[in-house]
Amino acid sequence: MRYIFLTEVCGNRNNNREREFFSPGYFNFLFMSWIKKIFLLFVFLSGSLAFAQNSTVSGIVFEDLNENGKLDSNEVGVEGVGVSSLSGIVETDSRGGFKLEICKNDIVFVIKPSGYHFHLNEYNIPKYFEQIYPQGSPKSLNYAGIRPTLPKDTLLFPLIPSDTQSGFRVNMVADPQMPRKREVWFFRETIIPSLLTANSEVTIFLGDIADNNLDVFPHFMGSLKALENPVYAVFGNHDVNYRSPDNSLKAETFRSWFGPDYYAFNYGNTHFVALNTVDYFGWNDEYKKKGSYFGGIDSTQLQWLEQDLALVDENFRIVLLTHIPLHPDYFKKQDLKKIFSLLEDRREVTIVSGHLHQNKSWAYGPELYWNGKSQLRSVIAGSASGSWWSGPYASDSIPQATCVDGSPQGFYQYAFRDDGFNYRFVPAQKKEDYQLRISSPHRIVKYNPEKPHRVVVNVFSGDERCSVKFSIDGGTFTGMKQFTGVDPFVERTHFRRINGDNWSPGISQTDHLWEGELPLKLEPGIHTIKSVVGFPDGKKYSATTQFELVDDGQ
């Protein structure tokens, strides 16, 4: 007897062919295959249902002395280590053991204690978490999430002993924002070399790794293989799986690559807390498009933050890592107040964010809802993509990507010590001492005896604590005044700033500008102008340029 079965070949439903076989052998084979599949499905579903009814996992955090990733007979557990789900935290007992209640789909992760480090995966992401998703992420999302994953009988988290760092450096990289593989190559050719040169113990990406197209994640991950330190990532608004119907599923794809979208870890006497500050309103069914968002934090994450901070030594410094800045212009006021209320008694707190594609820094006070006993400052750590990878383009087609405030693309490096910290801006495609630009005067300046020409200096990571001065032709230095405005360099070059989508970014005002005036008695001719900036940590940088003063009346 001859039977015909329609089969799909290479995913093409129309590419069907005939199969010939003899009964009953083929039917016996087919029957046993289906029995096996049904049995495996039954086992999996039984495990899923049983797990849904008993949502407790257990495990051990241990010292991995021989660094083989296994719990050997001579290795012991580590007491007092925080182990967390996305909703609650417990501490390990005297043997390093823990039991933790978790939700149906959850992630279990360890809050790294000082004096230890994790094993890294092939992309240098620390192996500090286990995804437990019995049913996997919903298939309705436009980008794949986490595959169905049942919990292991015992979760094992190895910690490798290391020296407790009294001094260490962290590279903070904001907004690579790559919409496709083309921009991933720009990232590899501009930011990765700078990261390799600016050595650090940790690299943290402050969100917007993607630009809505989450298919760039695997290409981005490949870029991280060159880095020789642990890499953490913060969730950004352009990392949202935008077909999520609400706020609960927005980070499913991000979690599949990077782990939890909020977490904490310790280095030395510093406690880092990464928060998910994107409040996503869900897919817009009416207009069939990506939904809106604003800065905020939900009640579950806020409760988690409260639990986390309660376990932190009162003498530790707190560093909040966010994508959307904790500022009422970008963040819900009531959520901002709740976060700050948990930090008011801390001896030292600082915030590092991205999102704005510029360098910016400000101090908090009561007008920004901060009433803590310590000074609080926030830094926007520039942008790796600058103004969204816009031109002008170099000879090898790499965009200059100047940020909207006139600063070059780049990132920040923080240097932490027991008694404090400082940071510096690291420009990409430039020398490391390129920290300021004399934006005006520019080339030809017309002499005006009644109106002196303005001198404008852009100090890329400057703030009100900096001192800036300039001199003409090696003469006496004159102090400059900080002001808020538009960098003249951005104004005169804006017409060239077009990216791969034929889109041009806007022009943004900035407060890291300083101004002065050229002397009225300056003689016509070519002159050299020099500007020097002094930063709060004592470092000084300078810039020099020339201009020609012409007198049309001669």
At 113-164, the pLDDT tens digits run 999 999 999 999 999 999 999 999 999 999 999 999 999 999 999 999 998 6
Residue 472's pLDDT is: 98
Structure tokens at 394: 């170099």
Calculate mean pLDDT across residues 485-500: 94
The mean pLDDT of the chain is: 90
Pairing status of strand 270-274 against strand 278-280: unpaired
pLDDT-derived band at 260, boundaries 50, 70, 90: very high
**Percent above pLDDT 70 for the chain:** 90
Q: List % helix, strand, coil for the chain (3-state, nearest 5).
A: 20, 30, 50
Backbone φ and ψ for 339, nearest 5 degrees, come out as: -65, -45
Q: Taking the model in full, what pTM does it have?
A: 0.90
Is the peptide bond preceding residue 113 cis, with omega within 30 degrees of 0? Answer: no
Cβ-Cβ contacts under 8 Å for 299 (sequence gap 6 or more): none
Q: How does pLDDT run across 204-223, given as a tens digit for each residue?
A: 999 999 999 999 999 999 99
Distance between the two ends of the chain, CA-based, in angstroms? 108
Using DSSP, state whether 193 is helix, strand or coil: helix
Using DSSP, state whether 156 is helix, strand or coil: strand
Q: How does pLDDT run across 223-256, given as a tens digit for each residue?
A: 999 998 999 999 999 999 999 999 999 999 999 9
Using DSSP, state whether 491 is helix, strand or coil: helix
Q: How does pLDDT run across 286-338, given as a tens digit for each residue?
A: 999 999 999 999 999 999 999 999 999 999 999 999 999 999 999 999 999 99
Calculate mean pLDDT across residues 260-271: 97
Backbone φ and ψ for 9, nearest 5 degrees, come out as: -120, 125
Residue 395's pLDDT is: 79
Structure tokens at 109: 């992760």
Backbone φ and ψ for 313, nearest 5 degrees, come out as: -50, 135
Residue 74's pLDDT is: 97
pLDDT greater than 50 at residue 31? no
pLDDT-derived band at 552, boundaries 50, 70, 90: confident
pLDDT greater than 70 at residue 541? yes
Q: What are the start-end ranges of the H helices in 156-297?
A: 181-197, 217-223, 252-258
Residue 553's pLDDT is: 59
pLDDT greater than 80 at residue 17? no
The superfamily CATH assigns to domain 129-427 is: Metallo-dependent phosphatases (3.60.21.10)
Calculate mean pLDDT across residues 44-64: 70
User: In Å, what is the CA distance from 338 to each residue of 235, 278, 306?
Assistant: 20, 16, 10
Residue 228's pLDDT is: 86
CA angle 262, 264, 270 (to 5 degrees): 145
CATH of 436-550, one of 1.20.1250.20, 3.50.50.60, 1.10.3720.10, 2.60.40.650: 2.60.40.650
